[in-house]
Amino acid sequence: MESFQIMPGAGYGADNLTLYAWIGELQSAPHPSFNQNGLFRNSEFGRALGNTVKLSLIASLITAVFGQFFGYITTRGRGKWYGNAVEQLIFIPYLMPGVAFSAIYFSMFSQPRLGGLIPSLYGTFTLILLVSIVKHFPFASRSGSSNMMQISVELEEAATINGAGFWRRIRSIVIPLAKNGFLSGFLLSFISIAKELDLIAILMTPKNYTLSFLAFDYSKEAMPQVADAICIVIIVFILVTNRIADKFGGNVSKSM
Amino acid sequence: MSKIQLSHIDKFYGENHVLRDVNLTIEDGDFMTLLGPSGCGKTTTLRVISGLEKAQHGTMTIDDRMIIDADKAFYEAPSKRGLNLVFQSYALWPHMTVFENVAFGLKIKKMKKEEIEETVMRALRTMRIEEYRGRYPNELSGGQQQRVAIARAIASSPKLLLLDEPLSNLDARLRIDMRAELKRLHKETGTTIIYVTHDQVEALTMSTKIALFKEGEISQIDTPLGLYTNPIDLQAADFIGNPRINFIEAKGFYDGTGLKVKSAFGEYVFAKEFMKLDEEIPENREFDCVLGLRPEMVDIYTEDPHHKNTVPARVYANQPAGSETLVTLTVGDTEFLAIQTGLVQAW
């Protein structure tokens, strides 16, 4: 509701309500504390929305794919060295605070290394994408494990006996059966990445602003109404994506 | 149809020695049952034969073709062994229809579409489920799913059909129907079948031969009747037969001409020609022994029939069960069970 107020905390009387935070123009600002256009008249918002959609969709898609793959390795390799190794390695990002984790990536990619083999990625969307993917591997892989545990090994063994090789088994048996679990894993990472802030804050440059960082920026500039409006947009974006995934069988409550 | 030979198969899970020097020959067209309690290694043997597990030692041949030579780390791929397996859980692919389940292996073999259609329908007809071709597994009952699993296994015309406790998830009535169905399948196709079960009734009613497993070893291989009438040891005798065999403590004495056995039932002499003389028998001294008496071998008379092999007994309890009556009897302190056909008057 604060996004419709002129002065936060001054009540919800008609004289304190406005749509400025959404569609207002600077010359008609109802209060001097507003120093930028409303959300839908602000070019920064469009770019941040685009970045958020791009980042959350691409990162959660890649995370979910790898999560299922790691889940497959850890469940099928349970008790074997490679299954245990993957399970341990995958969990490391979970142990670190988001800021510390991005600081590692910040220093790793601040300048070209190994004679340019590892390029400098600071200021690029790729670095933010990379950090978001790796940080969310533990959740996605856990979701992948619980998904793969529901696919009986015997289903694969039956395919093996009928002559299916590894890729044929994955294509014809595992992927069709893992579809719903994949969507649930995707949603789990997606919701987290769409509202991510601390993880990517220190890697932010103006052209890579995401909605959550923009909201943070506005609240710093004493425009909490616009920041709130952005939060509502983020929630709507998450709900819409959730609804679409739900139509295809994804359910975030089944992903863990 | 094919002959399978397992020689000196050993299998370990870590330190756990689950198969110990397993030697088994399955003749062409046999219905061989691997029988034993849970954890005795029968399913592991089946998985080794199918190629889903690798033995650490030993060899296996099918029709003299080397399939496993563990010492040379040679293991033929499961799909190239000419066999198929029916899992205990059926392992039907839930996202495929009955037709697609049965056709899966044939598509991998790159058979022509018309040929696949014909082969699948033949398998479905054999298992009498052609009307379910468009259904998904979760739209079928347990018995129908079982038939689909078998149809999928026989569609590729395997030389060897492996069945891993396929009836254990069915109710008692359906189990009897499916037993008959499997016997018919064996008779019609002539395929060599290896069947794993812990249910002795399944083993006795369906098999041409039974391999009895005990703690990772095969303790006896015989025909069902051979196993029932001449079990190799007390455990085998106790495992086979329902109701269980009676064990009666006795004293034996062998004088080189016959075995004299004294028990609560009196004295009985077994002639030398009925004895297994390859076993070590103490001569000219008394030793402890156990008499095994199948419940159906006991006849009960209410009046003395004046026969030398009768002994007076008291009825302790009787349990009429319609087609048969179980009667618990005592002779002195020895309690034993007898089974009589039909409804016997309660004494």
Q: Count of CB contacts below 8 A, A vs B? A: 52
In chain A, what percentage of residues exceed pLDDT 70?
Answer: 87
Distance from CA of A190 to the nearest CA of B (A): 27
| Cα–Cα distance for residue pair A246/A208, rounded to 1 Å | 29
The DSSP symbol for A8 reads T
CB under 8 A, 24+ apart: contacts of B232-236: B234/B290, B234/B292, B236/B212
In chain B, what percentage of residues exceed pLDDT 70?
Answer: 99
Collapsed DSSP state (helix, strand, coil) of residue B294: coil
Nearest to B84 among A161, A168, A177 (CB): A161
User: Which residues does chain A have within 8 Å of residue B105's beta carbon, measured at their own beta carbons?
Assistant: 161-163
| Cα–Cα distance for residue pair A191/A171, rounded to 1 Å | 27
Put simply, the answer to whether B104 touches A172 (Cβ < 8 Å) is yes
Per-residue pLDDT of B136-155, as tens digits, reads 999 999 889 999 999 999 99
User: Which residues does chain A have within 8 Å of residue B84's beta carbon, measured at their own beta carbons?
Assistant: 161-162
First to last CA, chain A: 33
pTM of the model: 0.80
Distance from CA of A166 to the nearest CA of B (A): 13
User: What pLDDT, on the 0 to 100 scale, is given for residue A186?
Assistant: 86
- Tell me which CATH code domain A47-255 carries: 1.10.3720.10
Residue B214 bridge partners (DSSP): B217
Distance from CA of A154 to the nearest CA of B (A): 6
Diameter of chain B by CA atoms? Answer: 76
| Cα–Cα distance for residue pair B54/A205, rounded to 1 Å | 56
Distance from CA of B48 to the nearest CA of A (A): 12
The answer to whether the Cα torsion of A145, A149, A152, A157 is positive or negative is: positive
Collapsed DSSP state (helix, strand, coil) of residue B84: strand
| Cα–Cα distance for residue pair B221/B236, rounded to 1 Å | 11
Domain residue extents for chain A: 1-41, 47-255
| Cα–Cα distance for residue pair B33/B18, rounded to 1 Å | 18
Collapsed DSSP state (helix, strand, coil) of residue A176: helix
Residues of B with CB under 8 A from a CB of A: 50-52, 78-79, 83-85, 87, 89, 91-95, 104-105, 108-109, 152, 156
User: What pLDDT, on the 0 to 100 scale, is given for residue B74?
Assistant: 95
* Residue A221 neighbours by CB distance under 10 Å: 13
Question: Does residue B335 register a pLDDT over 90?
Answer: yes
CA distances from B267 to A164, B248, B313 (A): 65, 13, 16
Among residues B39, B30, B35, the alpha carbon closest in space to that of B5 is found at B30
Per-residue pLDDT of B21-61, as tens digits, reads 999 999 999 999 999 998 899 999 999 999 999 999 999 99
CA distances from B173 to A176, B27, B166 (A): 35, 31, 14
Any idea of the CA torsion for B128, B134, B137, B141, to the nearest 10 degrees?
A: -50
For chain A, the average pLDDT equals 82
Element counts in chain A: helices (H) and strands (E): 11, 0
| Cα–Cα distance for residue pair B299/B6, rounded to 1 Å | 43
Place of tokens 């209060």: A31
Place of tokens 């696919």: A151
Q: Which residues have CB under 8 Å from B337's CB, separation 6+?
A: B243, B244, B246, B295, B326, B327, B328, B329
User: What pLDDT, on the 0 to 100 scale, is given for residue A254?
Assistant: 55
Q: Give the residue from B13, B46, B52 with the most A CB atoms within 10 Å of its CB, the best one to mutate.
A: B52
Per-residue pLDDT of B83-136, as tens digits, reads 999 999 999 999 999 999 999 999 999 999 999 999 999 999 988 899 999 999
pLDDT (average), residues B231-243: 90
Burial of A140 (0-12, 13-18, 19+ CB in 10 A): buried
User: What pLDDT, on the 0 to 100 scale, is given for residue A161?
Assistant: 95
ipTM of the modeled complex? 0.84
Per-residue pLDDT of B204-228, as tens digits, reads 999 999 999 999 999 999 999 999 9
- Residue that wins the pLDDT comparison between A225 and B336: B336
Element counts in chain B: helices (H) and strands (E): 8, 18
| A54 in Cβ contact with A207 (< 8 Å) | no
| A31 in Cβ contact with A17 (< 8 Å) | no
Any idea of the CA torsion for B196, B200, B203, B206, to the nearest 10 degrees?
A: -130
The DSSP symbol for A111 reads S
Residue of A nearest to B53 (CA): A157
The string of DSSP codes covering B147-171 is HHHHHHHHHT--SEEEEESTTTTS-
The DSSP symbol for B241 reads S
The answer to whether the Cα torsion of B92, B93, B97, B102 is positive or negative is: negative
CB under 8 A, 24+ apart: contacts of B15-20: B17/B216, B18/B44, B18/B216, B19/B44, B19/B45, B19/B48, B19/B55, B19/B216, B20/B215, B20/B216, B20/B217
Collapsed DSSP state (helix, strand, coil) of residue A196: coil
| B7 in Cβ contact with B69 (< 8 Å) | no
Nearest to A161 among B78, B92, B93 (CB): B78
Any idea of the CA torsion for B59, B61, B67, B68, to the nearest 10 degrees?
A: -10
Token pair of B50 as six digits: 């199918």
Question: Does residue B347 register a pLDDT over 70?
Answer: no
pLDDT (average), residues A108-129: 81
Beta strand B4-13 with B266-271 is: unpaired
Any idea of the CA torsion for A209, A210, A214, A216, to the nearest 10 degrees?
A: -110
Q: Give the residue from B48, B95, B96 with the most A CB atoms within 10 Å of its CB, the best one to mutate.
A: B95
CA distances from B209 to B58, B201, B203, B237, B256 (A): 22, 13, 9, 16, 34
What is the edge-to-edge ordering of all strands in the sheet holding B246-254? B266-271, B258-263, B246-254, B286-293
Put simply, the answer to whether A172 touches B105 (Cβ < 8 Å) is no
The DSSP symbol for A92 reads H
Between helices A175-194 and A137-149, what is the axis angle to 10°? 150
Among residues B155, B159, B149, B28, the alpha carbon closest in space to that of B83 is found at B159
Burial of A219 (0-12, 13-18, 19+ CB in 10 A): middle
Per-residue pLDDT of A51-101, as tens digits, reads 888 888 999 999 999 999 999 999 988 888 888 888 888 888 888 888 888
